[in-house]
């Protein structure tokens, strides 16, 4: 595969197949890490209000532009609307706060983070607000259906503030409902996807609707060791003997094998690394291919094992059940 991007529906914007994920990028290091990633060659950066580091990410972007490493139009910036801002009266103010923290005139792709409308939390009470109300210990929902949230997302497009809009952690049923009334079809769906959880039918169906898939957690349990029991007990994909044997055969790293497996399915990936050499390695996945035998070997790893599940975090929300 020589193509390193996908063209999004409606706009035709070229979204890189390999981007840089900003979840769990430490605030004190974020500016330099983003700057380094741009210098290495990353052009897509995937962030969110919930990650709590958009101000620092924006500084890294601004410094790279100032130093002439890139122009704004060379970058593809993704961020997400948090659950507590689904109310139609809060979508724009939440977006504007994020845009200002990033220091950008527009956002390339704005996603609904989860199809979970939670009670609004004012910025001066907590930002980012998290899952609970400040001081609370249970989820408090509000009556903010997606059919009211989505038109507010579309208005951001109409006003030139957002190029593309999309969704994250939605299932087929919720997408069908969205497609029944939307003016602008979602450009992308972002979901957990790795050999332990390939979600083959979801991927095939969504792609058939001309909605592109972005995978998060391409390396499996690594980011969830301290968050869930599954993260602690699952064998790390980066150390799995099946993946190691494929990597050795091709003279590649296990990380490169896992990312290559995704893009061969036309799925974009957003790996994160704080090390420059690993950043380079994660980008180097276009000049070689897996064999049919490799793909069959990887397909045997499917355990239906999900790591990013709110129910596993004790939130009493079996979102994917």
pLDDT along the chain (321 residues), means of 10: 87 98 98 98 98 98 98 98 98 98 98 98 98 97 98 98 98 98 98 98 98 98 89 94 98 98 98 97 96 98 96 94 89
State residue 113's pLDDT score.
98
Q: Could you tell me if residue 200 is inside a domain? A: yes
Structure tokens at 260: 């290559």
3-class secondary-structure state, position 63: helix
Structure tokens at 196: 């332990």
State residue 2's pLDDT score.
56
Q: Could you tell me if residue 135 is inside a domain? A: yes
Q: Could you tell me if residue 312 is inside a domain? A: no
Query: Residue 221 gets which letter from DSSP?
Result: G
Provide the CATH number for the domain around residue 224: 3.20.20.100
Instruction: Give binding residues for substrate as ranges.
Output: 113
Q: Could you tell me if residue 31 is inside a domain? A: yes
Active site residue 51: yes
State residue 122's pLDDT score.
98
Q: Could you tell me if residue 268 is inside a domain? A: yes
Strand partners, 18: 269
State residue 226's pLDDT score.
86
Q: Could you tell me if residue 1 is inside a domain? A: no
Instruction: Give binding residues as ranges.
Output: 113
Q: Which residues contact 81 (CB under 8 A, 6 or more apart)?
A: 49, 91, 94, 95, 110, 111, 112, 113, 149, 153
Q: Could you tell me if residue 101 is inside a domain? A: yes
Q: Which helix (H) or strand (E) holds 250?
A: helix 241-250
Q: Could you tell me if residue 152 is inside a domain? A: yes
Considering the candidates 42, 51, 196, 216, report the single residue annotated as catalytic. Answer: 51
Provide the domain limits for residue 20: 13-305
Total domains, the chain: 1
State residue 283's pLDDT score.
97
How far is residue 224 from each of residues 81, 110, 313, measured CA to CA in Å? 22, 25, 10
């Amino acid at each position: 595969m020589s193509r390193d991007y996908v063209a999004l529906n409606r706009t035709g914007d070229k979204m890189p197949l390999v981007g840089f994920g900003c979840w769990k990028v430490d605030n004190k290091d974020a500016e330099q890490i983003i700057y380094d990633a741009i210098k290495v060659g990353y052009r897509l950066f995937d962030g969110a209000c919930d990650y709590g580091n958009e101000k620092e990410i924006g500084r890294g972007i601004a410094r790279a532009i100032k130093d002439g490493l890139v122009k704004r139009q060379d970058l593809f910036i993704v961020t997400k609307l948090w659950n507590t801002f689904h109310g139609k009266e809060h979508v724009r103010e939440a977006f504007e706060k994020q845009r200002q923290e990033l220091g950008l005139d527009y956002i390339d792709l704005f996603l609904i983070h989860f199809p979970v409308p939670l009670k609004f939390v004012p910025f001066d009470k907590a930002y980012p607000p998290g899952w609970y109300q400040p001081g609370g210990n249970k989820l408090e929902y509000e009556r903010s259906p997606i059919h009211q949230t989505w038109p507010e997302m579309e208005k951001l497009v109409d006003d030139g503030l957002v190029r593309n809009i999309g969704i994250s952690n939605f299932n087929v049923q919720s997408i069908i409902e969205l497609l029944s009334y939307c003016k602008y079809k979602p450009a992308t769906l972002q979901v957990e996807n790795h050999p332990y959880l390939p979600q083959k039918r979801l991927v095939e169906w969504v792609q058939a609707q001309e909605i592109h898939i972005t995978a998060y957690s391409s390396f499996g349990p690594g980011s969830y060791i301290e968050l869930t029991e599954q993260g602690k007990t699952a064998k790390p994909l980066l150390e799995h003997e099946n993946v190691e044997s494929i990597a050795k055969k091709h003279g590649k790293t296990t990380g490169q094998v896992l990312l290559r497996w995704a893009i061969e399915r036309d799925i974009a990936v957003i790996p994160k690394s704080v090390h420059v050499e690993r950043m380079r390695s994660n980008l180097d996945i276009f000049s070689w291919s897996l064999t049919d035998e490799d793909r069959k070997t990887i397909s045997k790893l499917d355990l239906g094992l999900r790591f990013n599940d709110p129910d596993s975090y004790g939130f009493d929300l079996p979102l994917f059940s």
